[in-house]
Amino acid sequence: MKNFDENTIYIPLYGFTIRKVLKLSPPYTYITVKIEVLYMVMELLAPAGSYDVFKIAVNLGADAVYLAGEKFGARAYAENFSVEEIRKSVEYAHLNNTKVFITVNTLINDFEVVTLLKYLFKLYKIGVDAVIVQDFGVLKLIKSVFPKMKIHASTQMALNNYYSAIWAYENGVSRIIFPRELSVDEIHNIKLKLKENNIDMELEVFSHGALCYSISGNCYISSYNNGRSGNRGACTQPCRREYTLKYKGHNIDKGYLLSTHDINVSDDLDKLIGCGINSIKLEGRMKSEDYVGTIVNSYRNLLDEKEGRFREDLNLVFNRKFTKGYLLNQNPEDVMGRESSGHTGFYIGKIIAILDEEEITDKYTKKSKNRNIMKDDNNNKYNNKNDKNNNKNKTNKKSSSSKNPKDKKNEKYNETDRHIKTNKRIKIAKENLVEIEKGDGIAFKMGKKIKGIYLDEILEQNDEYLIFNTTRNVREGDEVFISYSQSIHSYLKEYKKEHIQSKIAISLDITLDNNLYPRVKSKFNLNNTNFEFSYTSPFPFEKAIKNPIEINEIKKQLSKTGETPFFIDHMDMENFSDNLFIPISKLNKIRRGILDRATKILLNYYKVDKTQIKNAEINLNNFIKEYNSGNLENTVPSTNNKLGVSVFVDNPNLIEIASEYSIAKIYFDPSYLYSNPNDYFENIKDLLIEGSWKAAGIELVWVLPTFISEQEIHKAVEVFNDLKNQGIHLSIMSDVTGISDLFNTKIYGNHNLNIWNSYSCENLKESGFNSLILSSELSYDEIKELNSKLVRNGVNLDLELIVHGNLEVIISNDDFSNLTSGKDLVMSDNSEYVILEDKKRKKFKYKVLFDFNKKSHFRNKDCLCLMEELGMIKNLGLSSIILDCRFSNESYSSQIISLYLEGLKDTNKKALHSLKKEIYSLTHSYLSKGNFLEGRIHEKD
């Protein structure tokens, strides 16, 4: 990059930057500017859930591929890769100048640490290009044991501002994968600040595919209600289910209310380049070969500015209709796709006429009842389902010989049945120009249902209409889509085989020595690193007797680099006379020798140095030895008879109620009191002054908004400092890493930091947090192990656990605008809420409230209540338990605080059971123990 003088100004534009280097001087009425276009190539990052998909992604031009091993990946139910398959994939990718990133982006508990590190060591030795990490503890472990391993911070880390980016840089992260909720404007602002401070940080965004409904993918519905944690890669996709929305007891909407459209930014790649994004990620590790192949092919060609219908091709593989997402500043009404959660395809047009109808007889063979009889590996027959029927037939022979039609199902012979269908010849008016081919998949939207067929015949087609036959029960006016392209499927077949692409330019300077042996000096560049090597041929040239070989023939043979990573871009030959000869077979061997040497250098470039591997192995063995040393039973925290109580409240009246009791802290969360940011920040100072006065000496903690923006952070700092100057002292609770330097006070970590292990605790303590709320997904055993490790390692950190309240399960940008009825959700007061009810599993209900940024907060309708477990909790060594009394009245909050304080005094089982009954009489809702006793019971092993 060039250096400009002090008069240089930077005018950021999408796609390029104008740099003014000449001043405007009188009497001129115009200025002259020098424009330098700064071109940055964005990496195309593709998904792969299997080796077959991986090959297609590489072959079609992905710059990098991300995949998961059999453990610790956020897609536990994908096919995923064994260690040997990862090794094979990495070599194949590197030969094609493609990188491989491994997702290690689940949360781990302390029981799994050694297994994780052994797995990471295998990845390190293989030479993977980076690992993608969510867990703050995993980040700390990699830094200490494998300091040379590149780390990408997962979107689930929720690093959404400059201060988080600085924290990531200081913690060894080389790339941030931004949350899907961040806009290009916010990203551009972060990029500029990083550049100003000479911080080299790669930035990555999701550009195509499924969007998570919850912010940063932090959703707990699947964990709390289905026993499968999304943070462990076992999400049950509750956002794709049907729901009913209720307001004040009335049904106001129904449909796939949490389902989002798929993001597609193929029209806006220049904007992503312009704001400094280094990599665009395509989603789809659970998707098919055709899906991944199509999106990689489309984006590769669009990035390379090739001509073709590549954007149109994206419509022909699975999608839930497209949005440009929050990334391109779209609103929730544009992002949400509440009418459907499935694939429809590319819209062709409507059925305008049913030209003919005829009844046809469809013949099929009714299968023998013995269809359930199978053979095992030893050819032994076994009957899995019909044994019971056979026994019935033996004991009731009269019934089996009856002519009753119902008994025909027991007949053991094949019979031909007949089924009458109506064949319709339909005419579709094309509203979008698309050429339909035989074998394509066609989808009909029939009311709320989507029904499909594969075309085996097209009767007539032009630019205006399409005619074919179908036995589907369609009607005039039904919408028709193409959902599958046979031609794309056929095109992708050629990319399924392993194939080394010649991507890297290599130069050859060849000189004949005095004995006519070719001596080669070769150069190539790989990822901005230059390589040079020499090669001496074992085969000399000879003086030609009859037919000398021509220089052009030599160059032709040496340039045949197919199925190698290289192509010859320059060849210089010296001391070659016109009367030389060498057999073509030996020329080919010389070429192979040169390219084999270059290939070995290429692969070694990606491999970790042996010394570094040895050092990493020493680090790993030392860690394991220390981890296993000592008797953990001697380090289990002793019973805490002074276990404190902290309380979440959301208004000043509840602060006053809580202050009447002997509690540790009051967490004041005023985010829901106002309907817009202006009102919040205009009133927050007075609210905090009032709250401080009502807290009556109890520590008051200001709970900052979730997913707070950088602009809001600055406003909060200003408010905090003003209050401090007035003598009002507050503590801060936040989920923002890197925030501790901004507030000169105690910093407490909120629950959505997802604390699962002792190493996360250590990392965040080192980052300035004085206390952390442990994840409510954890079980008693996991918490016990976590705190035992902290005690043994001498880490003094206050830990808290939410033991009562309606747990927050989702935070989303969705404001429930543009419902399926076409209307927006409008409530008369920001303190009100709506109920979201699972249409089929009606016991799953969620109270939805909105903060001042119109973010929706889902709270489980079931109430977490660990009253009966207080005796166990006292043995965990926690500093305090937390009662969440937000959105509760004064009477309820007062009684809940009183009951838990009483429970801590006497943890006798009978007494605690009696107190729980009192709580039930107050809540009148199901009291849940969450994951505390049994953990996540349906998690995949």
3-class SS string, 248-267: CCEEEEEECCCCECEEECCC
Per-residue model confidence (pLDDT) at position 935: 76
Q: How far is CA 184 from CA 302, 311, 406, 814, in A?
A: 19, 21, 66, 19
Higher pLDDT, 542 or 227: 542
Output the pTM of the full model: 0.88
The domains spanning 43-335 and 644-807+859-928 adopt the same CATH topology: yes
**Mean pLDDT across the stretch 718-733?**
97
**Mean pLDDT across the stretch 699-717?**
96
Q: Is the pLDDT of residue 7 over 50?
A: no
Higher pLDDT, 928 or 392: 928
Per-residue model confidence (pLDDT) at position 239: 84
Dmax over CA atoms of the chain, in Å, equals 116
Which tokens is 645 given? Answer: 């109580």
CB–CB of 232/76 below 8 Å? yes
Q: Which of 874, 921, 876 is nearest to 896 (CA)?
A: 921
Query: 565: which DSSP letter?
Result: S
Beta strand 43-47 with 279-282: parallel, antiparallel or unpaired?
parallel
Those residues whose C-beta lies under 8 Å from the C-beta of residue 682, and which sit 6 or more positions away, are: none
Per-residue model confidence (pLDDT) at position 630: 59
Range in 67-76, 148-157, 255-264 the model is least confident about: 67-76
**Mean pLDDT across the stretch 241-255?**
92
Mean pLDDT of the chain: 88
Instruction: Please give the Cα distance from 149 to 663 (Å, whole number).
Output: 45
Per-residue model confidence (pLDDT) at position 548: 95
Q: Is the pLDDT of residue 390 over 70?
A: no
Q: Is the pLDDT of residue 379 over 50?
A: no
Residue with tokens 């197919």: 562
pLDDT digits (tens, 9 = 90+) for 493-540: 999 999 999 999 999 999 999 999 999 999 999 989 999 999 999 999
Classified as helix, coil or strand, 422 is strand
For residue 637, name the pLDDT band (cuts at 50, 70, 90): low
For residue 449, name the pLDDT band (cuts at 50, 70, 90): confident
Per-residue model confidence (pLDDT) at position 722: 97
Q: Is the pLDDT of residue 162 over 70?
A: yes
Which tokens is 886 given? Answer: 């937000």
Question: Can you spell out the DSSP letters for 809-830?
Answer: EEEES----S-TTSPPP--S-T
Q: Which of 620, 538, 508 is nearest to 125 (CA)?
A: 620
pLDDT digits (tens, 9 = 90+) for 80-89: 899 999 999 9
Q: Is the pLDDT of residue 155 over 70?
A: yes
Per-residue model confidence (pLDDT) at position 822: 87
Instruction: Give the rounded distance of the alpha carbon of 845 from its chain centre.
Output: 26
Q: Which of 760, 767, 770, 757 is nearest to 797 (CA)?
A: 770
Q: How far is CA 620 from CA 102, 141, 226, in A?
A: 19, 10, 36
Alpha helices in 146-267 (DSSP H): 162-170, 184-196, 221-226
For residue 690, name the pLDDT band (cuts at 50, 70, 90): very high
Q: Is the pLDDT of residue 781 over 60?
A: yes
The arrangement of secondary structure in 644-807+859-928, i.e. its CATH architecture, is Alpha-Beta Barrel (3.20)
Range in 360-374, 412-426, 647-661, 816-830 the model is least confident about: 360-374
Domain regions of the chain by residue span: 43-335, 346-360+419-484, 504-606, 644-807+859-928
Per-residue model confidence (pLDDT) at position 234: 67
**Mean pLDDT across the stretch 393-404?**
40
Q: Is the pLDDT of residue 632 over 70?
A: no
Cβ neighbours around 498 below 10 Å, total: 13
**Mean pLDDT across the stretch 884-893?**
96
Per-residue model confidence (pLDDT) at position 43: 98
Amino acid letter at 233? G
Higher pLDDT, 105 or 685: 685
Per-residue model confidence (pLDDT) at position 405: 42
Per-residue model confidence (pLDDT) at position 17: 38
Per-residue model confidence (pLDDT) at position 31: 47
Which tokens is 401 given? Answer: 């010989």
Return the exposure string of 688-722: e unless at least 16 CB atoms fall within 10 Å of the residue's CB, then b: beebbebbeebbbbbbbbbbbebebbeebeebbee
CB–CB of 57/208 below 8 Å? no
Q: Is the pLDDT of residue 784 over 80?
A: yes
The arrangement of secondary structure in 43-335, i.e. its CATH architecture, is Alpha-Beta Barrel (3.20)
Q: Is the pLDDT of residue 227 over 70?
A: no
Per-residue model confidence (pLDDT) at position 12: 43
Rg, C-alpha atoms of the chain: 33
Those residues whose C-beta lies under 8 Å from the C-beta of residue 734, and which sit 6 or more positions away, are: 703, 704, 708, 747, 748, 749, 750
Q: Which of 116, 115, 159, 100 is nearest to 134 (CA)?
A: 159
Alpha helices in 509-634 (DSSP H): 551-558, 584-606, 610-628
Per-residue model confidence (pLDDT) at position 393: 41
pLDDT digits (tens, 9 = 90+) for 268-287: 999 999 999 999 999 998 89
For residue 377, name the pLDDT band (cuts at 50, 70, 90): very low
Q: Is the pLDDT of residue 78 over 90?
A: no
Per-residue model confidence (pLDDT) at position 700: 98
Those residues whose C-beta lies under 8 Å from the C-beta of residue 748, and which sit 6 or more positions away, are: 665, 667, 701, 731, 732, 733, 734, 769, 770, 771, 772, 773
Question: Can you spell out the DSSP letters for 129-147?
Answer: SEEEE--HHHHHHHHHH-T
**Mean pLDDT across the stretch 446-451?**
84
Burial class of residue 149 (count of CB atoms within 10 Å of its CB; 0-12, 13-18, 19+): buried
Q: Is the pLDDT of residue 1 over 70?
A: no
Q: Is the pLDDT of residue 258 over 50?
A: yes
Instruction: Calculate what percentage of the chain has a pLDDT beyond 70.
Output: 86
Instruction: Please give the Cα distance from 493 to 110 (Å, whole number).
Output: 45
**Mean pLDDT across the stretch 399-424?**
53
**Mean pLDDT across the stretch 8-28?**
43
Instruction: Please give the Cα distance from 291 to 297 (Å, whole number).
Output: 10
Range in 26-40, 108-122, 607-621 the model is least confident about: 26-40
pLDDT digits (tens, 9 = 90+) for 468-481: 999 999 999 999 99
pLDDT digits (tens, 9 = 90+) for 785-805: 999 999 999 999 999 999 999
Per-residue model confidence (pLDDT) at position 76: 56
